[in-house]
Amino acid sequence: MGNCWGSSSLHEQSHNSSTNQDASRNYSNTMELSATTSSSNCRSQFSEAVSEIVEERNPDGQILEMPNLKVYTFADLKNATKNFKSDTLLGEGGFGKVYKGWVDHRTLQPSKIGSGMVVAIKKLNPESMQGFEEWQSEVNFLGCLSHPNLVKLLGYCWEEKELLLVYEFMARGSLENHLFRRNPAIEPLSWDLRIKISVGAAKGLAFLHASDNQVIYRDFKASNILLDGNYNAKISDFGLAKFGPSGGNSHVTTRVMGTYGYAAPEYVATGHLYVKSDVYGFGVVLLEMMTGLRALDTKRANGQQNLVEWLKPSLSNRRKLKTIMDVRIVGQYSSKAALQAAELTLKCLETDPKKRPPMKEVVEALERIEALKVKVKGKDSQSGSSQSSSHHVQQPARHHYRFQTSNGADN
Ligand SMILES: Nc1ncnc2c1ncn2[C@@H]1O[C@H](COP(=O)(O)OP(=O)(O)OP(=O)(O)O)[C@@H](O)[C@H]1O
Ligand SMILES: [Mg+2]
């Protein structure tokens, strides 16, 4: 691998490889909606960004000059997972299955099962609609970005048709599992933990948006927020990430891709992707946290299937707000905190992207809400220690659906 986002990155290599380009074509089943920029523009955008972006330094994170990724063979990762045995399965998403594996702390080489450091290994399913392009994007972006609220990519494997990614292990799995899976072994997330998770995820997005060459994440949703043993939130899955607009432009134009229920309305309608389109997705997750309901649920009655369309009007009404809050967290927050959270959610969900707050302001607003502590009788509601600790295997039930428009490259 060369410099981050540089000319010798995997991104470039793939464009020189017809085999892999074909592979990525096979995986995408898309419908063209809007005009796209050419792939050469995309390449130069990557290259131009390098020189400036690698200079950036953020006190709470950094952009690495060189990706620091370990290259694994397929045999290595077979060894690390008992040949992808089903008892090491952590979950499954649109890209493929995610397994638990073990590597040596220091060398990151596969180690004896059960010894060394636990990692999560994502293996592309050849049938996947998400494919080579998203795998590449993950390696190119996440390999260079380092921040406490972004999941750490440790390495990858690219061997013929086998594409895998190796990440730090996030002991409590995804926010989606905690919010929506009605598993009696998983206690509902407390209000304080929901706010803590929101602050962490907001800091991750704020970091991406902070540099001159902003990164637009494009797929913000509860299943892409992973939780470590202490409920620290980290954003995962950079498959759809894009560089933000340059040269004074307000947006980039792309093929429309994302997840139903989370994607910003202007983006779905026009393919114009703004940094603020991520803020909308963040607002949707905030609404999910407050209500305990999924962004999109086709099992709900007509008119209630899209959470934002259904409940956004209730956020500005104090009386209605009480009725939409998740019953599992009643008594854990003050009405002031709920009101402030509702106000912030509304701002993030503004139809006009310009009216949405920047993520830095969202972080500050959430920290003010976090400071509003409530003492619940006989119990400090701040404590999250009573939450169940194990990572539960996520069955491959799909409650959220990725969409993309038409054939053709996303640039
Ligand atoms: N680093 C990790 N540590 C622990 N578990 C993980 C890790 N990455 C993923 N998982 C588990 O695997 C599941 C599937 O993740 P994946 O990102 O493949 O799909 P998804 O986010 O559910 O869907 P999508 O394909 O739309 O992103 C997660 O919900 C989580 O339970
Ligand atoms: Mg994901």
Q: What would the pLDDT profile of 238-255 be if each residue is shown by its tens digit?
A: 989 998 998 888 999 988
Around ligand 1, the residues with Cβ closer than 6 Å are 90-95, 98, 120, 122, 151, 167, 169-170, 173-174, 177, 223-224, 226, 236-237, 394, 402
Instruction: Estimate the crossing angle of helix 275-291 against helix 359-370, to 10 degrees.
Output: 20
Backbone angle region of 298, left / alpha / beta, with phi > 0 → left and psi within -120 to 50 → alpha: alpha
Pairing type for strands 145-146 and 61-63 reads: antiparallel
Given a cut of 50, whether residue 260 has pLDDT beyond it is yes
pLDDT value of position 225:
98
* CATH class name, domain 8-168: alpha beta
Domain 175-404 has CATH 1.10.510.10: yes
219 included as an active-site residue: yes
Quote the ligand 2 centre to 379 CA distance (angstroms).
Answer: 34
pTM score, whole prediction = 0.82
Q: Coil, helix or strand for 70?
A: strand
What is the number of the ligand 1 atom nearest to the C-alpha of 168?
1
Q: Whose CA is nearest to atom 4 of ligand 1?
A: 170
Let me know: does 236 contact 167? Beta carbons within 8 Å: yes
- Max avg pLDDT among 23-27, 34-38, 260-264, 402-406: 260-264
Please, which residues have CB within 8 angstroms of residue 125's CB and are 6 or more apart in sequence?
Answer: 95, 96, 97
Cβ neighbours of residue 300 closer than 8 Å, sequence gap 6 or more? 310
pLDDT at 390: 43
Strands (E), 206-341: 215-216, 225-227, 233-235, 242-243, 252-253, 257-259, 272-273
Q: Counting atoms of ligand 1 from 1, which one is nearest the CA of 96?
A: 18
- State which of 103, 129, 174 you would mutate to test the pocket of ligand 1, scoring each by most atoms of that ligand within 8 A of its C-beta: 174
Ligand 2 centroid–CA 374 distance in Å is 33
User: By alpha-carbon position, which residue is closest to atom 11 of ligand 1?
Assistant: 91
**Burial (CB count within 10 angstroms: exposed 0-12, middle 13-18, buried 19+), residue 96:** buried
Q: Which of 55-59, 120-124, 345-349 has the lowest mean pLDDT?
A: 55-59
pLDDT in the model for residue 212: 67
CA dist., res. 216 & res. 202, Å (int):
13
pLDDT in tens, 86-116: 999 999 988 899 999 999 999 999 998 888 9
Task: Write down the pLDDT at residue 399.
Answer: 53
H helix intervals, 4-54: 10-15, 18-27, 39-53
Higher pLDDT, 264 or 376: 264
Q: Find residue 50's DSSP bridge partners.
A: none
| DSSP-based three-state secondary structure for 245 | coil
- Domain boundaries, given as residue ranges, for the chain: 8-168, 175-404
Query: Which residues make Cβ contacts (< 8 Å) with residue 184, sequence separation at least 6?
Result: none
- What is each CA distance from 262 to 250, 268, 299, 401, in whole angstroms? 21, 10, 17, 10
What percent of the chain lies above the pLDDT cut of 90? Answer: 61
Q: Residue type for 52, please?
A: E
Distance 394 CA to ligand 2 centre (A): 12
Q: How confident is the model at residue 45 (pLDDT cuts 50, 70, 90)?
A: very low
Please identify which of the residues 22, 87, 104, 219 carries the catalytic annotation. Answer: 219
Distance CA 170, CA 311 (A): 31
Burial of 200 (0-12, 13-18, 19+ CB in 10 A): buried
